[in-house]
């Protein structure tokens, strides 16, 4: 049986604590998440599924982008005739690049663009919805069900939670093409039939200095929904509000709260990770770094524990243990530790591990 040995325990305890300011929002549901780590910094009824309106189109957009077909030309079909509400006014037979159509989808919330994209990519909206739900499951959205590609809720209802939409927003924020599109304030398109000039409906891009993207939504039943992204001093955030009549003020308050109280710290650096003593000295590595947002008072509550196997030998790049990070006694991260090269332990290495 393999014996587990604790190699070292690192405790951060070097700054004075500070108070975290209180925060209250008007949204029925809200979630503020740091996208690098996935940590929730603020929540209000975050797991309750609600109608989400046009923030549905975040999923439609990422599926279009990940199809790797953005340069293909889409011919608009008769399905566009069934769309109403916010449209970009596509015409039957009009030809437009998929990339340009995604801009219309996200900047102007084109319901017609959403349906045309769905039919183009999967042959029917029903099959596209299946792909939307499959992607939601992949991301970990447990309280989400999509029934259409646009978010209109008079016939079918798309529902999600603030937390699930924050997960989706965190996922898409790592896609450069997506962030380029939703961070664009103005976009022009020329098709075979007409010219378009679109201004982004997301007002936060102009209202808040650190805003970098997002998507608006509204139906009478859902109320105003909003997903946005902001970035400052290495802290990457996303905010989600569902049914909030004061959404832009809410998002600014959420971001101000986070930027004032949290900083992103690198707790594990894969380039500096090492074991300082014993058989595994300078022979262990991790494959990825780990960063986490912390308040000043939380920094002295972080502990890093490395547990390595105490058996006789290992192969190069073989798993030899784990590194575990806790915050105030609660585990927040766990990863595998690997051996740098094939090793067989000497008699003295075995003696050392026994007494360790």
Between 17-31, 60-74, 79-93, the lowest mean confidence (pLDDT) is in 17-31
Model confidence, pTM:
0.88
Q: What is the DSSP letter of 273?
A: -
3-state secondary structure of 261: helix
The residue annotated as part of the active site, out of 109, 160, 161, 291, is 109
**What is the average per-residue pLDDT within 200-219?**
98
Q: Which residue has the higher pLDDT, 192 or 341?
A: 192
* Residue range of the domain that includes 56: 29-261
Residue 169 tokens read as: 């927003």
204 and 286, same structural domain?
A: no
Q: Picking from 119-133, 137-151, 284-298, 330-344, which range would have the lowest pLDDT averaged per residue?
A: 330-344
Residue 23 lies in a domain: no
Predicted confidence (pLDDT) per residue in 178-195, tens digit: 999 999 999 999 999 999
Catalytic entry in 29, 37, 54, 173: 54
One domain, residues 87 and 112: yes
Phi and psi for 160 in degrees, rounded to 5?
Answer: -155, 170
Instruction: Please indicate, yes or no, if residue 328 is contained in any of the structural domains.
Output: yes
Q: Specify if 198 maps to a domain.
A: yes
pLDDT average, residue stretch 242-263: 97
pLDDT of residue 186: 98
Q: Is the pLDDT of residue 273 over 50?
A: yes
Report the CATH number that the domain containing residue 330 is assigned in CATH: 2.30.140
Phi, psi dihedrals of residue 23, rounded to the nearest 5° = -145, 140
Question: Does one domain contain both 239 and 286?
Answer: no
Structural domain includes residue 22: no
Q: Is the CB of residue 314 less than 8 Å from the CB of residue 302?
A: no
Helix and strand tally (H, E) in the chain?
Answer: 9, 20
Active-site residue flag, 29: no
82 band by pLDDT with thresholds 50, 70 and 90 = very high
Residue 319 in any domain: the answer is yes
pLDDT at residue 216 tops 80: yes
Clarify whether residues 94 and 132 are in a common domain. yes
Rounded to 5 degrees, φ, ψ at 193 are: -115, -35
Q: What average pLDDT does this structure show over 212-227?
A: 98
Residues near 306 by beta carbon (within 8 Å), at least 6 away in sequence: 6, 7, 8, 275, 284, 321, 322, 323, 324, 337
The rounded Cα 17 to chain-centroid distance in angstroms is 29
Residue 248 has pLDDT above 60, yes or no: yes
> What pLDDT score was predicted for residue 268?
96
% helix, strand, coil for the chain, step of 5: 30, 30, 40
- 123 in the same domain as 55: yes
Is pLDDT of 288 > 80? yes
Report the share of the chain in percent with pLDDT over 70: 88
Catalytic site residue from 29, 44, 46, 57: 57
**6-10, 37-41, 212-216, 316-320 — which is least confidently predicted?**
6-10
Do 216 and 69 fall into the same domain?
A: yes
Average pLDDT, the chain: 90
20 belongs to a structural domain = no
pLDDT of residue 317: 86
343 confidence band (pLDDT: 50, 70, 90): low
pLDDT greater than 50 at residue 345: yes
Confidence bin at 12 (pLDDT 50/70/90): very low
Instruction: Give the residue ranges of DSSP H helices in the chain.
Output: 57-66, 98-107, 111-122, 125-139, 162-172, 176-182, 204-207, 247-261, 347-355
Instruction: Answer yes or no: do 245 and 279 share one domain.
Output: no
* Cα–Cα distance list, 163 to 50, 116, 224, 255, 354 (Å): 11, 28, 17, 16, 47
**Burial class of residue 337 in the structure, from the number of CB atoms within 10 Å of its CB (0-12 exposed, 13-18 middle, 19+ buried):** buried
Kindly list the distances between the CA atom of residue 239 and the CA atoms of 144, 170, 234, 258, 285, in Å, as whole numbers in the listed order.
17, 10, 16, 10, 35
Q: Distance between CA 167 and CA 143 in Å, rounded?
A: 11
- For residue 174, with 0-12 CB atoms within 10 Å meaning exposed, 13-18 middle and 19 or more buried, which class applies? exposed
Check whether residue 326 and residue 205 sit in a common domain.
no
When pLDDT is cut at 50, 70 and 90, the band that residue 14 belongs to is very low
Print burial letters for 272-299: b (CB count within 10 Å at least 16), e (below 16). Answer: ebebeebbbeebbbbeeebbbbbbeebb
User: Given a cut of 60, is residue 1 above it in pLDDT?
Assistant: no
Which of 203, 230, 261 represents a domain boundary (last residue)? 261
Q: Give me the residue label for tokens 């798309």.
A: 158
The pLDDT value recorded for residue 276 is: 80
Read off the tokens for 249.
């003020």
- Is 186 an active-site residue? no
Q: What is the pLDDT of residue 342?
A: 60
The total number of structural domains that make up the chain: 2
Looking up residue 109, the CATH number of its domain turns out to be 3.40.710.10
Contact in structure between 119 and 125 (CB atoms under 8 Å)? yes
Whether residue 196 is contained in a domain is answered as: yes
* Cα dihedral 221, 200, 36, 129 sign: positive
Q: Give yes or no for residue 245 having a pLDDT over 50.
A: yes
Residue 296 DSSP symbol? T
**Is residue 120 located within the same domain as residue 209?**
yes
202 with 301, same domain: the answer is no
**Does position 114 have pLDDT exceeding 70, yes or no?**
yes
Q: Which of 213, 235, 261 is the last residue of a domain?
A: 261
pLDDT, mean of residues 250-279: 92
Do 57 and 86 lie in one domain? The reply is yes
346 is catalytic: no
Q: Is residue 240 part of a domain?
A: yes
Query: Both 226 and 302 in a single domain?
Result: no
Last residue in a domain, options 233, 261, 289: 261
């Amino acid at each position: 049986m393999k014996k587990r040995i604790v190699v070292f325990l690192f405790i951060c305890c070097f700054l004075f604590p500070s108070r975290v300011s209180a925060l209250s929002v008007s949204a029925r549901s809200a979630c503020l998440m740091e996208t690098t780590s996935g940590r929730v910094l603020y929540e209000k009824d975050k797991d309750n599924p609600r109608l989400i309106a046009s923030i549905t189109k975040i999923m439609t957009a990422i599926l279009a982008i990940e199809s790797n077909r953005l340069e293909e030309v889409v011919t608009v079909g008769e399905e566009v005739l069934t769309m109403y509400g916010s449209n970009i006014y596509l015409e039957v037979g009009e030809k437009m690049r998929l990339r340009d159509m995604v801009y219309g989808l996200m900047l102007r919330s084109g319901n017609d663009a959403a349906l045309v994209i769905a039919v183009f990519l999967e042959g029917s909206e029903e099959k596209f919805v299946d792909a939307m739900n499959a992607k939601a499951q992949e991301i970990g959205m447990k309280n989400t069900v999509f029934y259409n590609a646009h978010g209109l809720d008079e016939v079918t209802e798309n529902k999600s939670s603030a937390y699930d939409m924050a997960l989706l927003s965190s996922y898409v924020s790592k896609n450069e093409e997506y962030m380029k599109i939703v961070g664009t304030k103005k976009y022009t398109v020329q098709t075979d039939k007409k010219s378009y000039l679109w201004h982004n409906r997301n007002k936060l891009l102009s209202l808040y200095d650190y805003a970098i993207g997002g998507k608006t939504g509204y139906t009478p039943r859902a109320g105003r929904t909003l997903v946005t992204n902001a970035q400052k001093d290495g802290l990457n955030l996303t905010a989600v509000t569902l049914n909030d009549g004061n959404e832009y003020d809410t998002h600014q308050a959420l971001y101000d709260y986070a930027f004032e109280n949290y900083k992103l710290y690198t707790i594990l650096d894969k380039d500096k990770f090492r074991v300082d003593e014993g058989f595994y000295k300078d022979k262990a590595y991790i494959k990825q770094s780990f960063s986490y947002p912390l308040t000043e008072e939380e920094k002295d509550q972080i502990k890093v524990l490395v547990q390595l196997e105490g058996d006789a030998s290992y192969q190069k790049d073989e798993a030899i243990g784990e590194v575990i990070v806790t915050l105030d006694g609660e585990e927040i991260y766990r990863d595998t530790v690997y051996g740098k090269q094939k090793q067989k332990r000497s008699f003295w290495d075995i003696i050392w591990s026994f007494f360790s």
